[in-house]
Structure 1
């Protein structure tokens, strides 16, 4: 536990800075382009497209295949040069493959936009196509960044990859501020060619900066990111076979994303950005806490699996799940209780309407109960990856995606308009809770045990403490709301007062209930 916490503390600091700058990036873009406007919707639709294609082509394979393979190569004593050559060939394969994908995607941009956001009117659709073509090189940048990060992780350099997104965020923040300074407005019709180029080039330059940071970190770690003319010799067929199941699961997840995006694009002006920003904020605590745990635990589980030490895999998995649940439970309660106040404080200024900010908060509140199940589900999937099994988590992911898609389509028949983003967010609660339970059962069969009694005990105690904290936070929020007279000031007071009261009570009740992981987390946060 102590090793994981020592490593996790450094990663958490880097991740917090990364997520804070990412949060500022979201605020700057919402202020500059206008939450609830067609301009931000077009920009959002285009900017998520390269992420979607990258995840479909390669993203899932990084966690399921690349990291475990690189860890095993790097752990062979006396074979450092072979490990370097293996990583260089893998990087070359990524560059050549994703380079071809970028070319195809640029040509097919109109078809991609029509498939993802069919509800856009022609001017907005044309702008989305133009943005999409400029953003497509990000696919290559993301792929190279992920491969370099995997090389660093395999060498025990877990913190450097956490800092790299900061460069991306800072460049995009500068781009958004420059857009405001040159007189950019939140309207598709008033966008000039120069302003379009500023947004397009500046956004992709951010991902390129992230890649450059990782390249420098790789060289400092002793790895030269050199391209090889012939990338063979790394077991391409084996990698393809292992990644095949992952591609299937990612394809299912992207199909769900496509379904939800198409539904939201028909829900009204600005609804895509509302739904997307709520999802981004929901991912923030997951990224700071769960991704930090996953990054630290996956190499450890991979090494234990390589030694056929199933007890070691179970121990690392249990630690990760318990720490994550205890840390995220009060955050989930805060999202449910304070969602509208949080987003009013974040977005209700600039070109954003108060109604759009509040709707984003209601959507965020609907996401809240999914936070702990989602994080636990993702961590348990990594245990299968560490064991070299990509088939089982892929089948589970396909099932979760099917449940989500069915719930979204059924919900869309019952509701629409501004209520639809809230309803779609609620669908994730059912899907990820089911996924968590199914994954736990299957993983227990594979490992023999998953420390179930201890996990259930910790989850129930932290849930009780979070429920008490949430109720107190709700009472405080209702008491102080409206006392300052302006929406932003009221929201700030609500967030500060309710968070302080709820957080203090969570720690108090958690200690009274004997949540040992809470003491471990608070001690890890102390300096020294």
Structure 2
């Protein structure tokens, strides 16, 4: 690799941070304009299919991205453009059919996904889904662009490009707020708001794709030329990896559908899950991208049997680094859920009651932060071994598990139970994948790895508990109602929690701790 592992991770982390900031700003503005009311609820259901496709096809670390990196990284630069054009043509043709189907069958799709919707919300949801249907096609084009640009050593633009999608929504809602002024409760407000939100989302996807396409063309990595050359070397290999990977990722997203099916019977649950998820996704998305993107190519290079010793060492390294980052951040999210939610969302239409709902959901997201990223790491190892079937089989098993957990945990915990169910599914998936890799790679040091991760989990739990105690003491003596006080409270509490975790983690003497500190300090070593 021309760049060090941590150099790539740094580029991706900074770009993803910028992208996630704009994504969170978009959510804050949507919350301020619509709260957890009719338009926000409808949008969350209408966005299920387009959002699903953006995740499984157009997302960074999605199956198209992962498959293209695995296939293109092994080929000469001159062979890339024809291969990319053929894959783009095949994928685009399929997704045009999907787009038309979504436009014509929007009502049926919504009735299947959310049968418990009230008539007013259902009408707005169908309208928004019809507007956003072309995102199905755009998602495939965006995902292909991600993989192609990463192979060309372009990491900045793919990681920052979701920012353009958020900007389009922000600009649209800004215009909307200026136009309607004080007509916040009028029918005109709700209908126009639904249009603006859906159109802004569609425009953002177009903007994101075009920015990638320009760089892709300049690098000679393929154009929009139509090509159905099935016999081109690499096409069948790429499609053979994409299909099970897409289905596997799709099975994971089906769990989200199941969650929203249950959520449709809980008032404001869909909007609450979305708002809480966006906060949780900010640190998770940054760390996931920073770890997965540089390690994806590395896993692919070590996939040959004679290199399995090095591959096993990199699997351990990536998992421990994930634990070092996600476990303490998850603990802090759980401990600081309410003040963070108030800082991000509580203004205008988003009141204190909404903050408490979202905070309860954010606690659950924090508890499951490590496992959700850990699953992504292990899936990429299977892709590097050109095995998309094993993750698919595990995903199929976990759909049934998710339905069972949703049923019982929703009855006990309400909306947060849906997130806890997902955490249970991710824990099960991680254990199953580790066992399969243990058998496939002639043995992994699972006991040693498990003890290290459990020790980091204990350190994170203690740091989170002390952070939560500090918040209770702070709010008992000082007011936390103003934004300035809230920011100071969260900043001090987070520093205390991270400081405690850093001390405890250093006592564990894990080589990954030294590696992380050394690389952050110097970033001199080359892979």
Query: Hey, what's the Cα distance between the residues in 2 that align with 1:335 and 1:461?
Result: 19
**Equivalent residues in 2 for 1:383-422, closer than 5 Å:** 383-412=381-410, 414-415=411-412, 419-422=413-416
Q: Report the equivalent of 1:69.
A: 71
Query: Hey, what's the Cα distance between the residues in 2 that align with 1:508 and 1:407?
Result: 36
Shift, 1:446, TM fit: 0.9
Shift, 1:462, TM fit: 2.1
Match of 2:270 among 269, 272, 286: 272
Establish whether residue 189 from structure 1 lines up as the match of residue 190 from structure 2: no
> Could you tell me the TM-score, scaled by structure 1's length?
0.91
Q: How many residues align?
A: 517
Establish whether residue 101 from structure 1 lines up as the match of residue 98 from structure 2: yes
Q: Report the equivalent of 1:213.
A: 211
Specify the SS of the correspondent of 1:100.
helix
Q: Report the equivalent of 1:148.
A: 145
Query: Hey, what's the Cα distance between the residues in 2 that align with 1:200 and 1:258?
Result: 20
Identify if the C-alpha distance between structure 1 residues 64 and 160 changes in structure 2 by more than 3 Å, giving closer, same or farther: closer
Query: Hey, what's the Cα distance between the residues in 1 that align with 2:197 and 2:104?
Result: 20
Query: Hey, what's the Cα distance between the residues in 2 that align with 1:93 and 1:188?
Result: 46
Establish whether residue 301 from structure 1 lines up as the match of residue 299 from structure 2: yes
Specify the SS of the correspondent of 1:52.
helix
Which deviates more from structure 2 when the two are superposed, residues 425-434 or residues 358-367? 425-434
Establish whether residue 43 from structure 1 lines up as the match of residue 43 from structure 2: yes
Q: Report the equivalent of 1:492.
A: 487
Identify if the C-alpha distance between structure 1 residues 227 and 50 changes in structure 2 by more than 3 Å, giving closer, same or farther: same
Gaps of 5+ in 1: none
Which deviates more from structure 2 when the two are superposed, residues 370-379 or residues 382-391? 370-379
Identify if the C-alpha distance between structure 1 residues 368 and 196 changes in structure 2 by more than 3 Å, giving closer, same or farther: closer
Q: Report the equivalent of 1:517.
A: 512
Identify if the C-alpha distance between structure 1 residues 47 and 21 changes in structure 2 by more than 3 Å, giving closer, same or farther: same
Identify if the C-alpha distance between structure 1 residues 194 and 338 changes in structure 2 by more than 3 Å, giving closer, same or farther: closer
Query: Hey, what's the Cα distance between the residues in 2 that align with 1:324 and 1:273?
Result: 29
Query: Hey, what's the Cα distance between the residues in 2 that align with 1:349 and 1:499?
Result: 23
Identify if the C-alpha distance between structure 1 residues 230 and 492 changes in structure 2 by more than 3 Å, giving closer, same or farther: same
Query: Hey, what's the Cα distance between the residues in 2 that align with 1:86 and 1:306?
Result: 23
Specify the SS of the correspondent of 1:409.
helix
Contact 1:363 1:422 in 2 (8 A): yes
Which deviates more from structure 2 when the two are superposed, residues 317-326 or residues 58-67? 58-67
Identify if the C-alpha distance between structure 1 residues 212 and 56 changes in structure 2 by more than 3 Å, giving closer, same or farther: closer
Gaps of 5+ in 2: none
Q: Report the equivalent of 2:287.
A: 289
Identify if the C-alpha distance between structure 1 residues 442 and 334 changes in structure 2 by more than 3 Å, giving closer, same or farther: same
**Equivalent residues in 2 for 1:328-343, closer than 5 Å:** 328-343=326-341
> Could you tell me the TM-score, scaled by structure 2's length?
0.91
Specify the SS of the correspondent of 1:72.
coil
Query: Hey, what's the Cα distance between the residues in 2 that align with 1:334 and 1:144?
Result: 36
Shift, 1:206, TM fit: 0.7
Deviations 1:111-156 (A, max 9, x none): 1111122222112111111111111111111110110111112233
Contact 1:37 1:186 in 2 (8 A): no
Identify if the C-alpha distance between structure 1 residues 218 and 200 changes in structure 2 by more than 3 Å, giving closer, same or farther: same
Which deviates more from structure 2 when the two are superposed, residues 241-250 or residues 93-102? 241-250
Query: Hey, what's the Cα distance between the residues in 2 that align with 1:277 and 1:87?
Result: 36
Shift, 1:398, TM fit: 1.8
Contact 2:474 2:489 in 1 (8 A): yes
Query: Hey, what's the Cα distance between the residues in 1 that align with 2:414 and 2:377?
Result: 29
Query: Hey, what's the Cα distance between the residues in 1 that align with 2:368 and 2:304?
Result: 33
Identify if the C-alpha distance between structure 1 residues 107 and 221 changes in structure 2 by more than 3 Å, giving closer, same or farther: same
Q: Report the equivalent of 1:252.
A: 251
Query: Hey, what's the Cα distance between the residues in 1 that align with 2:367 and 2:193?
Result: 40
Q: Report the equivalent of 2:323.
A: 325
Shift, 1:512, TM fit: 2.8
Q: Report the equivalent of 1:232.
A: 230
Shift, 1:400, TM fit: 2.5
Deviations 1:10-39 (A, max 9, x none): 1111111111111111111111221x2111
Shift, 1:498, TM fit: 1.2
